[in-house]
C-alpha cells in the first residue's frame, strides 16, 4: 500500500506562534488539514477530506466566525479531488473515505466524492445529524452531507490496539486500516491507524492540535490551547486521550500525528514519494 500525505486546506489565523508554535506573534499561523491518500489493491482510500470545492467556490456558506478568525485560504488546487486528479486518478477511484470526525475542515470534501463509502463512528454521525448541545448545533456544516453519502457507521468492538480500543474489519477495507476511538474533541471522534511496511502510523485527527502536546514535557501554544477547550465536547475524555497519545507517541512504536500541525505534516510529506 502506498501512502501519501496531502494538505487539503490551509488556514491562516492571526496569532503566529501563539497558535502554531512558529514565527512572530504578529504573523499569520499556518494550519494544515493533514489527510492521507492510501493506494490499495482495491482502489483509493482517503482519510479525512479537508475542505471541498464547494467550500472554495462558495465560502459565504461557511460559518462567518470561521472565515474571520480561522481564515481558510480557499485554494481549489489544495482540495483532495484536485490533488488526486493531478496524480492521474479520477474522483470515482476513491472507493472509501474514513473520517476522524465530521467538522467542516474534515468532511468538507465529501461532496467531491459522492461514489465513496464513508466510514464514520455511529456516535459521530448521530452527533452531526441529531446535534444535542449548543456546541453540536453550531459546529457541524450540514451541506457537507446534503447529497446523502453512502455512510458505513461503525461502533467500538472491544478489540485492542496498543492498549486502545479499536474497530477492525471495516467493510471493504484491508485489515491494515483500523479505527481507534478518541472521543473528546467531538462526541464520536476517532483516530485512523494504518499498518505500513515500516510500522504503524496513527492519524489522530483533532484529538490534539500541536506537536508540543506529544513532547516528553507536554505544552501547547496558548491560543490553540484555548481553541481546543472552546471546541471540546468532553473535557475529561479529551485530556485522557491526549495523555494516552503522548505515551503512545513517546513509546516509539507508532508514528502519531494530528490533523493541523504544520511541522508534523511537512515532516510526513517530505517522506511521500513524488506523484
Residues that bind Zn ion (CB under 5 A): 105, 206
CA angle 73, 121, 142 (to 5 degrees): 45
Nearer to Zn ion, 105 or 261 (CB): 105
Dihedral sign for Cα atoms in the order 16, 250, 269, 79: negative
CA 105 – CA 93 distance, rounded (Å):
22
Nearer to Zn ion, 78 or 105 (CB): 105
Dihedral sign for Cα atoms in the order 149, 98, 62, 74: negative
Report in angstroms how near the CB of residue 230 gets to Zn ion at its nearest: 13
Cell readout for 159 is 478489540
Nearer to Zn ion, 105 or 255 (CB): 105
Phi, psi of 73 (to 5 degrees): -70, -30
CA 65 – CA 71 distance, rounded (Å):
9
Report in angstroms how near the CB of residue 170 gets to Zn ion at its nearest: 22
Nearer to Zn ion, 9 or 181 (CB): 9
Report in angstroms how near the CB of residue 106 gets to Zn ion at its nearest: 6
Nearer to Zn ion, 67 or 168 (CB): 67
Report in angstroms how near the CB of residue 260 gets to Zn ion at its nearest: 6
Dihedral sign for Cα atoms in the order 227, 230, 233, 234: positive
Cell readout for 148 is 446523502
Q: Is 201 helix (H, G, I), strand (E, B) or coil?
A: strand
Dihedral sign for Cα atoms in the order 22, 235, 49, 275: positive
Report in angstroms how near the CB of residue 211 gets to Zn ion at its nearest: 15
Nearer to Zn ion, 59 or 172 (CB): 59
* Cβ neighbours, 10 Å, residue 257: 24
Q: Is 96 helix (H, G, I), strand (E, B) or coil?
A: strand
Nearer to Zn ion, 1 or 73 (CB): 73
Q: CB of 125 within 8 A of CB of 92? A: no
Report in angstroms how near the CB of residue 103 gets to Zn ion at its nearest: 5
Report in angstroms how near the CB of residue 206 gets to Zn ion at its nearest: 4
Amino acid at each position: 500500500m502506498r501512502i501519501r500525505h496531502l494538505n487539503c486546506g490551509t488556514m491562516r489565523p492571526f496569532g503566529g506562534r501563539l497558535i502554531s508554535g512558529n514565527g512572530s506573534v504578529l504573523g499569520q499561523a499556518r494550519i494544515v488539514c493533514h489527510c492521507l491518500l492510501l493506494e490499495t489493491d482495491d482502489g483509493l482510500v482517503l482519510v479525512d477530506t479537508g475542505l471541498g470545492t464547494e467550500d472554495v467556490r462558495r465560502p459565504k456558506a461557511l460559518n462567518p466566525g470561521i472565515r474571520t478568525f480561522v481564515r481558510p485560504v480557499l485554494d481549489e488546487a489544495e482540495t483532495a479531488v484536485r490533488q488526486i486528479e493531478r496524480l492521474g486518478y479520477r474522483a470515482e477511484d476513491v472507493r472509501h473515505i474514513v473520517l476522524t470526525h465530521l467538522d467542516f475542515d474534515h468532511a468538507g470534501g465529501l461532496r467531491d466524492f459522492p461514489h465513496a463509502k464513508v466510514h464514520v463512528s455511529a456516535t459521530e454521525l448521530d452527533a452531526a445529524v441529531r446535534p444535542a448541545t449548543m456546541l453540536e448545533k453550531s459546529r457541524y456544516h450540514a451541506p457537507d452531507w446534503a447529497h446523502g453519502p453512502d455512510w458505513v457507521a461503525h461502533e467500538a468492538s472491544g478489540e485492542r490496539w496498543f492498549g486502545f480500543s479499536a474497530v477492525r474489519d471495516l467493510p471493504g477495507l484491508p485489515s491494515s486500516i483500523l479505527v481507534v476511538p478518541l472521543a473528546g474533541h467531538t462526541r464520536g471522534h476517532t483516530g485512523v491507524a494504518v499498518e505500513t511496511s515500516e510500522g504503524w502510523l496513527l492519524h489522530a485527527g483533532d484529538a490534539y492540535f500541536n506537536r508540543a502536546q506529544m513532547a516528553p514535557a507536554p505544552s501547547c501554544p496558548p491560543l490553540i490551547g484555548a481553541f481546543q477547550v472552546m471546541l471540546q465536547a468532553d473535557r475529561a475524555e479529551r485530556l485522557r486521550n491526549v495523555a494516552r497519545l503522548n505515551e503512545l507517541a513517546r513509546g516509539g512504536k507508532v508514528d502519531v500525528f494530528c490533523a493541523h500541525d504544520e511541522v508534523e505534516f511537512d515532516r510526513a510529506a517530505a517522506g511521500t514519494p513524488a506523484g
